[in-house]
């Protein structure tokens, strides 16, 4: 049977969630628990010369800092390692291994840097360390590129090479394709490792699959306490330990791990949860960098269907190399859904011209100043148009829909009770579940590509009014945005990105109103930050 080594990387990979600030007591406590558990290899953090030493953080500028945090703890039988992201910690910050608390150093690197990174591994080896080469985003390698990497690793004869499933993309078949190739071509004395991520809920089962592989080579599997780690998290070390104890004759003390989870790790989970979720599923299913999903879901107002469609358009060479400009351009192109809206605009213009128009937004003032709004409605008998919502206590004639997410929310409301006779004015990027909306406006003509939010619904509606020759409107519930107080009457309508961009959004609307004051007069009857 092949030898199996269990590597705990909680203090390194888990640090992505708290900027490596575990606190000095937590760092030592987790480390002591894991040495007592019998974990074979413990990774204590990053070596990164760009960071200053902080006894509370597991990211350190040089190897000598490791002793300052953990030096009083008995390592017992464990091998202690640190990690370097190639290019962030030079040799001048790495002391000779005989003087170091570390026994080994793991070097992570992207494919295009493999030659320089493996040469760097060779230099670290000369200092006496056990060196691990960590191939980031293993799924980006072709077979030919993987064999080239193996050749480099074999030439240097490092301690171990690990395949890193950075974005959690591997299923059993392609996982074992990479793993078997490496096992076949690496020199026999080089250990073979696997680092999983949990985007598809496969981190644990994939580790078990690797362990089942018949080989005489030593296998190293990475895991973390409670799966704590970047993106969707990692394989939980307590589960792997149980499996190894039951099926491979190991004797890891799982109680020590559980104590560390309860006493040291859960506080971070409660503050910043990790693990499988829709966000990371979308990234993995589209085989792309998770930042693309973040941009589309955080900054814009797309349905999941639309997010998926945009992600599918990312060009192959950019999928795993995040490019903010590329995803913004794809979003813009997607939102340019074209249609001939001349007939619908003409009908709407004929209906609305000469009428008093009241536009309702979903801000908190729509409820706080409801009496004022109702008084205005009684006195002026306006045509009432709400934006991406329907108020509970006020009757509306039209709802302007530019946001596919909001349409999902309104789907049932538009079919029931007093709302069933409300006419819908939708932009062409919103798709009706069945049939067609009453009116559809060309979305691309209403976008502002240079704005902080190119599809800001209030401005889009103002542009539509201008195109129809409507020169004056009244507004209520269009409050603008605050960074620290509620922005919507219905709390489940909150978008956190609106708070983050509150100042910029308010400024954008304020400047638009000033610039177009001669084309359309906008009167606010409830309090708004757009006029401050």
Tell me the average pLDDT across 438-443: 91
pLDDT value at position 2? 74
Contacts (Cβ under 8 Å, ≥6 apart) of 246: none
Please say whether the beta carbons of 66 and 99 come within 8 A: no
- Claim to verify: residue 40 and residue 165 sit in the same structural domain: yes
Q: Is residue 276 part of a domain?
A: no
Whether 8 and 43 have beta carbons less than 8 Å apart is answered as yes
280 falls within a domain = no
Q: Are residues 154 and 54 in the same domain?
A: yes
Do residues 223 and 326 both lie within one domain? no
Comparing 129-143, 174-188, 245-259, 337-351, the range with the smallest average pLDDT is 337-351
Compute the distance between CA of residue 262 and CA of residue 269 in angstroms, rounded to an integer.
10
Q: Give a yes or no: residue 200 inside a domain.
A: yes
Predicted local confidence at residue 51, as pLDDT: 97
Alpha-carbon distance 90 to 61, whole Å?
10
Do residue 325 and residue 347 come from a single domain? no
- Is 294 inside a domain boundary? no
Domain termination site, one of 271, 289, 319: 271
User: In Å, what is the CA distance from 69 to each residue of 23, 31, 103, 391?
Assistant: 10, 10, 16, 57
Residues β-bridged to residue 474 = 358, 523
214 and 315 co-located in one domain: no
Question: Largest Cα–Cα distance in the chain?
Answer: 87
Q: Cα–chain-centroid distance for residue 107? A: 24
Residue 293 placed within a domain: no
Q: Residue 410 has what pLDDT?
A: 78
| Residue 58 near residue 22, CB atoms below 8 Å | yes
Which tokens in the block code for residue 335?
């939102």
CA distance 6 to 41: 6
Do both 312 and 239 map to the same domain? Answer: no
Phi, psi of 53 (to 5 degrees): -70, 135
For residues 328 and 119, the model is more confident at 119
Q: What was the pLDDT predicted at 492?
A: 67
In angstroms, the CA 264 to CA 24 distance is 11
380 is a domain residue: yes
Q: Look at 344-353, 386-395, 405-414 and tell me which has the smallest mean pLDDT.
A: 405-414
Q: Which percentage of the chain shows pLDDT scores above 70?
A: 95
3-class secondary-structure state, position 503: helix
State the helix-helix crossing angle for 237-248 and 203-212, rounded to 10 degrees.
30
Q: How confident is the model at residue 418 (pLDDT cuts 50, 70, 90)?
A: low
pLDDT at residue 464 tops 80: yes
Q: Which domain holds residue 109?
A: 4-271
- Shared domain for 315 and 182, answered yes or no, is no
Kindly state whether residue 415 falls inside one of the protein's structural domains: yes
What CATH number is associated with residue 246?
3.20.20.70
Domain count, the chain: 3
Would you say residue 288 lies in a domain? no
Of 440, 465, 467, 219, give the one whose Cα is nearest residue 341: 440
How confident is residue 494, by pLDDT bands cut at 50, 70 and 90? Answer: low
Quick one: average pLDDT of 194-222?
95
Query: Which strands sit side by side in the sheet containing 423-427, from one edge to the other?
Result: 439-441, 423-427, 398-401, 383-387, 357-360, 472-476, 521-524
What is the rounded distance in angstroms from the CA atom of residue 433 to the CA atom of residue 162?
Answer: 47
Q: Classify burial at 315, counting beta carbons within 10 Å of its beta carbon; exposed 0-12, middle 13-18, buried 19 or more.
A: exposed
**Are residues 377 and 311 part of one domain?**
no
Residue 484: per-residue pLDDT: 79
Q: Are residues 126 and 149 in the same domain?
A: yes
The answer to whether 306 touches 403, Cβ cutoff 8 Å, is no
Surface-to-core class of residue 360, CB atoms within 10 Å of its CB (0-12 exposed, 13-18 middle, 19+ buried): buried
310 and 181, same domain (yes or no): no
Mean of the pLDDT values across residues 299-315?
Answer: 80
Q: Are residues 56 and 175 in the same domain?
A: yes
Q: What is the pLDDT of residue 52?
A: 97
My answer on whether 72 and 115 are in the same domain is: yes
Q: What is the mean pLDDT of the chain?
A: 91
């Amino acid at each position: 049977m092949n030898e199996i080594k269990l590597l705990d990387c909680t203090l390194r990979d888990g640090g992505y969630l708290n900027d490596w600030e575990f606190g000095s007591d937590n760092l030592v406590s987790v480390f002591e628990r894991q040495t007592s558990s019998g974990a074979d290899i413990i990774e204590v953090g990053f070596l990164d010369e760009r960071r200053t030493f902080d006894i509370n953080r597991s990211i350190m500028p040089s190897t000598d800092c490791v002793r300052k945090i953990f030096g009083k703890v008995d390592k017992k039988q464990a091998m202690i390692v640190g990690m370097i992201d190639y290019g962030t910690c030079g040799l001048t910050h790495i002391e000779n291994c005989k003087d170091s608390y570390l026994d080994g150093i793991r070097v992570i690197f992207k494919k295009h840097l493999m030659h320089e990174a493996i040469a760097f591994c060779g230099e670290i080896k000369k200092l006496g360390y056990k060196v691990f080469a960590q191939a980031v985003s293993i799924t980006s390698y072709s077979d030919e590129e993987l064999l080239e990497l193996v050749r480099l690793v074999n030439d240097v004869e490092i301690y171990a090479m690990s395949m890193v499933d950075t974005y959690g993309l591997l299923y059993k078949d392609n996982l074992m394709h990479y793993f078997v190739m490496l096992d076949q071509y690496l020199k026999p004395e080089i250990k073979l490792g696997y680092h999983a991520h949990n985007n598809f809920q496969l981190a644990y089962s994939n580790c078990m699959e690797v362990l089942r592989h018949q080989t005489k080579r030593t296998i190293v599997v990475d895991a973390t306490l409670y799966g704590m780690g970047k993106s969707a998290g990692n394989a939980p070390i307590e589960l792997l330990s149980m499996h190894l104890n039951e099926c491979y004759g190991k004797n890891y003390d799982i109680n020590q791990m559980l104590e560390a989870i309860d006493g040291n790790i859960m506080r971070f989970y409660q503050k910043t949860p990790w693990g499988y979720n829709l966000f990371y599923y979308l990234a993995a299913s589209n085989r792309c960098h998770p930042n693309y999903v973040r941009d589309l879901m955080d900054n814009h107002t797309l349905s999941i269907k639309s997010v998926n469609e945009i992600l599918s358009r990312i060009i192959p060479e950019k999928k795993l190399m995040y490019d903010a400009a590329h995803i913004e351009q794809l979003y813009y192109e997607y939102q340019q859904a074209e249609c001939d809206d001349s007939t619908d605009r003409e009908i709407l213009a004929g209906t609305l011209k000469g009428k008093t128009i009241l536009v309702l937004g979903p801000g908190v003032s729509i409820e706080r100043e409801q009496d004022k709004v109702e008084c205005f409605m009684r006195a002026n008998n306006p045509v009432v148009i709400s934006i991406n919502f329907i108020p509970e206590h006020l009757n509306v004639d039209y709802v302007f829909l530019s946001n596919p997410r909001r349409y999902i929310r309104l789907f049932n409301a538009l079919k029931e009770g007093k709302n069933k006779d409300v006419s819908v004015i939708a932009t062409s990027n919103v798709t009706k579940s069945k049939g067609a909306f009453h009116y559809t406006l060309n979305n691309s003509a209403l976008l502002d590509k240079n704005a902080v939010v190119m599809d800001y619904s209030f401005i889009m509606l103002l542009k539509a009014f201008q195109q129809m020759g409507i020169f004056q409107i009244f507004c209520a519930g269009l409050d603008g945005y605050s960074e620290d107080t509620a922005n919507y009457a219905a709390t489940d309508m909150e978008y956190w990105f609106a708070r983050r961009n509150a100042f910029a959004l308010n400024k954008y609307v304020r400047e638009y109103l000033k610039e177009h004051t001669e084309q359309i007069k906008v009167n606010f009857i409830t309090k708004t930050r757009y006029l401050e």
